Amino acid sequence: MSHPSAALPSPTSARLSVGFAWVGHSLMHIVSALFLTIVLALETEWKLSYDELIRLWTLGAFMIGLGAPLAGWLGDRWSSAGMIAVFYLMTGGGAVLAGLSDGPEMLMWSLALLGLGASIYHPVGMAWMMANAENRGKAMGWLGLFGTFGVATAAVVAGSLTQWLNWRMAFIIPGAICLVLGVVLALLMMSGVVQDRHADVKPQPKPSRGDVVRAFFVLSLTMVCAGLIFNAMQVVLPKLFEARLGGWLGTGTLGVGGLVTAVYLISALPQMVGGVLADRHSLKRVYMLCLLAQIPLMAAVAVLADVPLVAAAAFVVIASQTQIPAENMLLARYTPDKHRGLAFGAKYILSFGAGPLAVQLVAWVYERTGEFTMLYLTLSALAAIAFAAALLLPDDRRKAEPVAEPLPAAE
């Protein structure tokens, strides 16, 4: 363990770091999902089909995964706080350029820049927050809550701004907010108010090499499956609701966006519960139960319509969001703190790298069938594979709790 002098001396810096990490989680999910609702307006304005337009996000989704390991490595080697400032600036810049696009090609490249910026958040932001937070479970629960809020509000932000202003402002306004926060964080770093922490506030016991290797292979498989499920669900939900609930929601994007938002907001409290459960119970058990629940729920979404469809979709989102704190804490549990940014980068090249596969899967299924029954049956099978793999995780409750004195940190 590093000497305390190597770590951040300032509780203010720790609190600001955790705060910027929480807000960044919301904005990352909002900005990277704007297009998924805006695309419904572009179908009319640009006279292109849904499958043609949704493919414009393939490169951006790919960049979210591709950039993650490099971002994590730079966060470990250079500066976590600096990389988060770059995240805000690059993601915001990409969104503003997307709003200024004059055709599909410029939109595709703008979304690619946005995706590359967004790739920085998860590997760097989570490692940054874990180093600065004393109560990891509580902080991870709040981090998850902010992320869920971002996922939940993305559709209604995009839908309302598109309907009340236009689709361009639906990109530009959230992008401008990111740019402002990036400048503020950079100024706080330059003034020394926010600094990097180079040692964990709350050290953890070292797992055996065998457990590390086993956890690596198991989590690699479960995170690919979870990434495909999450990305496909987020991509398709606006279109699914438009198709199966169209009569209820009117003709604009606001009704669809609002219902998607409601479904994701329902999972906000369970996300906090997931953080508490991950603190108090076996991480493996919490993770497995969340994966198990998704198997029948996903199959139900495949065949339901109207109110039962909305309920089943909400329960799928609850289960998938509740598992996230346990998954992240399992990854941190089996990774040395000096390589944690790289480890989270590897996670997100697996889970978000599944994004372009999910986009192509959604487009392929819709192009051939005109609906999404087969898609959700496939996602149910992926949940079953992930659950079977999770049975092989090491028992994370075998080791003793760390006894080292904690360093000053944010609550």
What's the pLDDT score for residue 9?
A: 44
Handedness of CA 105, 33, 61, 176 (dihedral sign): positive
- Sort residue 257 into left (φ over 0), alpha (ψ -120 to 50) or beta: alpha
Nearest to 4 by CA among 411, 409, 410: 409
What's the pLDDT score for residue 65?
A: 77
pTM of the model: 0.72
Handedness of CA 240, 243, 245, 251 (dihedral sign): positive
What are the beta bridge partners of residue 13?
A: none
Greater model confidence, 278 or 364: 364
In the predicted structure, residue 396 carries a pLDDT above the cut 80: no
CA dihedral 324, 327, 329, 334 (to 10 degrees): -160
DSSP 205: P
What's the pLDDT score for residue 201?
A: 59
What's the pLDDT score for residue 403?
A: 42
Q: Label residue 5 by pLDDT band (50, 70, 90).
A: very low
Nearest to 325 by CA among 360, 377, 364, 290: 290
Q: Report the C-alpha gap between 12 and 239 in whole angstroms.
A: 44
Nearest to 271 by CA among 127, 125, 131, 146: 146
- Side-chain-side CA neighbours of 39 within 13 Å: the count stands at 26
The mean pLDDT value for 405-410 works out to: 48
What's the pLDDT score for residue 288?
A: 94
What's the pLDDT score for residue 390?
A: 94
**Contacts of residue 369, Cβ cutoff 8 Å, sequence gap at least 6:** none
pLDDT digit string, tens, across residues 191-249: 989 887 666 656 666 778 888 888 888 988 998 898 898 888 888 888 888 777 766 66
Q: Label residue 176 by pLDDT band (50, 70, 90).
A: very high
Domains of the chain from N-terminus onward: 10-196 (1.20.1250.20), 210-394 (1.20.1250.20)
Q: How many helices (H) and strands (E) does the chain have?
A: 18, 0
In the predicted structure, residue 383 carries a pLDDT above the cut 50: yes
Portion of the chain with pLDDT greater than 70, in percent: 89
